[in-house]
Structure 1
Amino acid sequence: MTKAMRPVRRAFTLVELLVVIAIIGTLVGLLLPAVQSARESARRSSCSNNLKQYGLALHNYHDTNGYMPSGAPTVPWGSPALSWHAYVLPFLEQQGLASKIKFNSGGDERFRDAGGGQQVRSVKLPVARCPSDSSITDQDGWFQSSYSGSLGSQRTPSADGNCNQYLGFAEVPSGGADHGNAWNFKDISGVFSRLVTEQKGCSFNMVSDGLSKTIFMGEILADCNDHREGLWSFNGMGNAHASTIVPINTMTTCYDSQAEATTKNVPNPQCFTKSNWNYSWGFRSKHPGGAQFLFGDGSIRMIQETIDHTTFQRLGGRKDGGTIALDD
């Protein structure tokens, strides 16, 4: 075949190129949500596994001691006391870290290692972090957690008297100790206290509603609480304890809560802030539509934020007589 007889290759026209680009864009648009969904599913599974490990640790602690760790027994105010997280470290395969904590010392000395240098309270513990909450920030050298123990249906009044109403929240009969501070554990609605004078925490025989029907732990967003120290401190309500009086996923933007209040038509939006403990001491997550919880029998449940609020509160109570089961 002569050179003159060879077929001429036709280039893409601009229209054809634009069509191809449009098709690729459409395919990317269709695939991206699926990819994002798969990634979130993996993150959610990781968060669930973390809670599962905590569940095993709490059961092993209980088997060893006959009770769960209390919030912070006989500790003076103003002193960074150890939270229950610290006491279960050996049961989370963290014996080395636990050995660095001075359980019988006071104040910051509890968290200083033998060399006097590294602050143990800044050590990052992977099992205590949910990868879905990638924006979580540590504060003042305190490592922040994605999981809290449940106070149950416990009132958490705000320090701001102008914002000390529940703004439409239903409230079932709760424990008699605001913020979970009690002289006696019987005044606590849930399975964890914040501060009691007793050395012992809740035992399983105190959960008369049934282990499979009682929330032990759940997911939180530490950045949505201004009253936080860290994973190790009982005083850090953003890490150690949360209340089921607050509906799930109430306030999840943390740093743009006023805009969220407008979107959700919240009454008194000036009170919709992380400094209002009526809002901030609740369970919440970055998972769409709900948060994950550890129940006393070791099961992990995803509870939707649309759950009946009274039902949610009763799931937090260990002895309110409301033996409510979630549908699997």
Structure 2
Amino acid sequence: MRLPSRLSSSKSSCKGFTLIELLVVIAIIAVLIALLLPAVQAAREAARRSQCVNNLKQIGLAMQNYHDVHQTFPLQGTLGVPLDNPAQRSNWWGPSVFVHLLPFMEQTPLQNAFNFSASCVVGCTTLGRSANTTVVNTAIQTMLCPSDGNTVYPRGTNYAVSCGPQFRFDVSGNLATGVFVTTRAFGISAIPDGTSNTILCSEVIRGDGVAGRDNGAERYRDVPWPVGGPEGSGINQVMPEGLPNLQAYLTACAPRVQARTSEINDAHNSWAFARMHLGTAFNTIQPPNARQRDCIWYPAHAGLITARSRHSGGVNTLFGDGSVRFIKDTINQPTWWALGTREGGEVISSDQL
């Protein structure tokens, strides 16, 4: 008679989780994940940003070592004579600064494979371009910021050299405000503003190759500079003297951006190209990560080529002394212009950065 009683007691003591208890546990787990995920993501982004800084430091060290050997920084867009047609020679078609830095970045075999006697790497005739196809199509991890995550252009670059606060990069003489232009190589002795106050290189973001989808790297082509020809000329395209023209240009650019007129999505698709849009040059006309998308005058590869990054709040920037600093998006625009010049004579204090 007692056996059923014991069985009954045993059964009543074996309880499972109720549905409400399971839902509570799941809710608690969800809350914990929601609390921890931002911290994990922040830690990952901090690691990516650290790698980005390290990439720029490697580029800076390569530039300093190049300078020790040559007493100047490399030229941007230097050319030999194209194999098939000397008339094809153009300062827009030559190799980038980074091609010259390859031996100082542990990439000597890659530079040895580069044919400088046919040093047009983009834009010229097929034979000229094909001479360096292997090198141009090689991806270099040091040139890629892990925060970008772009897989469309693995041979691209997230770092570009500064031509200063000017619309075009193929100028010379007193109008060459930045350290890197197509017609003249500058050394530290040509930077009286001080190497710690002069930008060598900063971040850019690569296009995604997809029209109509915002990734921040879209540009809008064939918007002419208001005066001095469509690509600008003289002091009218240099800041701050050209500020009224810049304001007119931004006004002309805005409706293009809104309507997505003549949109192109292949920005900075090669570390080996010297061109501003496709390759490794940028200017300090607009502040970092400017809300206004870039418009360009594509036939001359002049335009608004703005420093941009996937890091929240600013861009990592390499200076002439080899230091890498994070420049905030909120930097005063004249200060950004001043940091882009070699010999503007501006006085910049640390609290302006």
TM interval, shorter chain, is 0.7 to 0.9
Q: Which residue of 2 aligns with 1:48?
A: 53
Code of the aligned partner of 1:94 = Q
Q: Aligned equivalents of 2:192 and 2:91: distance in 1?
A: 34
- Offset at residue 136 of structure 1 (A): 5.3
Decide whether aligned partners of structure 1 residues 276 and 34 sit closer, same or farther in structure 2, where only a CA change above 3 A counts: farther
Q: How many residues are aligned here?
A: 275
Root-mean-square deviation (CA, aligned residues, Å) is 2.6
Matched, 1:148 2:160: yes
The aligned runs of 1:36-115 (5 Å cut-off) are 36-73=41-78, 76-77=89-90, 80-108=93-121
Give the 3-state SS of the residue equivalent to 1:301 in structure 2.
strand
User: Quick check: 1:234 aligned with 2:274?
Assistant: yes
Could you tell me which residue of structure 2 aligns to residue 192 of structure 1?
180
The residue that corresponds to 1:137 in the other structure is: 152
Distance 1:240 1:210 in 2: 23
Q: Where in structure 2 are there 5+ consecutive unaligned residues?
A: 81-88, 122-126, 208-216, 220-263
Shift of 1:298: 0.9
Q: 305-314 or 98-107: which moved more?
A: 98-107
Structure 2 Cα separation of the partners of residues 71 and 243 of structure 1: 13
- Rounded Cα–Cα distance in structure 1 between residues aligned with 2:163 and 2:326: 19
1:271-310 per-residue CA deviation (whole Å, 9 max, x = no partner) reads x455578874010000011110001111110111011111
Q: Which letter maps to 2:164? A: G
Q: Given the two structures, how large is their TM-score scaled by the length of structure 2?
A: 0.71
Question: What is the SS of the residue equivalent to 1:107?
Answer: coil
Residues 101 and 110 in structure 1, CA contact (< 8 A), matched pair in contact too: no
Distance 2:38 2:130 in 1: 46
Instruction: Compute the displacement of 1:222 (Å).
Output: 2.7
One-letter amino acid matched to 2:96: S
CA distance in 1 between partners of 2:92 and 2:337 (Å): 31
Does residue 210 in structure 1 map to residue 194 in structure 2? yes
* Distance 1:35-1:279 versus aligned 2 partners, 3 A rule: farther
Partner of 1:121: 136
Cα distance in 2, alignment partners of residues 132 and 219 from structure 1: 11
Matches of 2:178 and 2:52 in 1, distance apart? 22
Structure 1 SS opposite 2:116 = coil
Counterparts of 1:21 and 1:153, CA distance in 2 = 55
The answer (yes or no) to whether the contact 1:112–1:120 under 8 Å persists in 2 is no
Amino acid at match of 2:175: D
